[in-house]
Every structure is written in C-alpha cells, then in structure tokens.
Amino acid sequence: MGDAGLQIGESFIGEGANAAHINTVLGHRDGPAGTAWASALASPSQGHVPFVAVLRPSLPVKPLTLFVTKAAPASDEHGLLIWGPAQAGVAAGVADALADGVITAEQADSHVVIAAVWVNPSADDADAVYEHNRTATRTALGNGVDRLPATEDVLAARDAPTNPFYTPTPRG
C-alpha cells in the first residue's frame, strides 16, 4: 500500500479538551524523514523534548516513531497525559497502521515516523486522550499514504475554513 516517497498526513479526532490533533511524516530512514527524525531527537528545546514512542518500556513501536509535542507541558498533570496516554495512543496507532498494511512490513525496518502531537492543557480524561490519539495517528498515516485530502476538497472548502478554535463570519 505504501510507497517509497515522503508521506505527510493529518487527522483531528474527538471534541473538546480531550480531542487529538496529529500530523505525521513517514519516510525512509536514508531520506529527508530520517534526517529530520535524527535532527529533532538530537535538538530538544525548552518544553519540547522529542522522544521515541514505545508500546511498553524497551519496546519501541515500528517503524521507529518520534513523538514531538506541539505544546509544552503546562502542568504535571498535562505532562503525564502527554507521556502516558497520548504516547501510548500514538504507538498503538502506528502499530495499527502496520497491522492494517498501511505501513508495510518492509517499511517497519526501513522507514521512520515523526508524529507531531497536540494534547490540550485542559485535557482531563486519560482514556479519551489515548483512544483519540490512537485513532488520529492511524488515520493520519492512512491519509498520508492516500495523499489526502483530495485537491477538490481543499478547493471546495477554501471560502469556509473552520476549526475548533475559529469559525469565520459568513462573507457577504
């Protein structure tokens, strides 16, 4: 299903503070994705410390996945949601993509994933954070493989953009 090119995906799952917004990059270790993966791991910044996503301690998911936070931990509780259920959800979502054939068995050892992950500082339900991040990661990887969204969908939505934080006043 996958190909050798750089695949970029996006997915937003859930509502409210426990929703997940994931951006993924899947590509060969020897290409730009591998370079970005290694550079990000070696270059943490204040509040943003990329780390390898694991299914359990000492069992990283394959392809090796770099978890990159979009928001610095705002509190101890927020940090626990990032390191705990969000990380577990991302790892499980990558494993789901591998099990479903979105990522091939060959790519499990030749490719890397970068997952940019948003966990709202107001999140308060660990199980919802886990489920939403798992589904969003699997969906983003599938969207990358399928080169979604379709260009026609982007053009159709251009005059009415909306997101959970903004809905424009209708023009007219």
Task: Count Cα atoms within 13 angstroms, Cβ side, for 1.
Answer: 16
How many Cα atoms within 13 Å fall on the side-chain side of residue 14? 23
**Is 21 one of the annotated active-site residues of the chain?**
yes
DSSP label at residue 117: E
Q: Which residues contact 130 (CB under 8 A, 6 or more apart)?
A: 85, 86, 88, 89, 92
Locate tokens 């006043």: which residue? 169
Determine if residue 49 is left, alpha or beta; phi over 0 gives left, psi from -120 to 50 gives alpha, anything else beta. beta
The active-site residue, picked from 21, 78, 111, 132, is: 21
Catalytic residues: 21
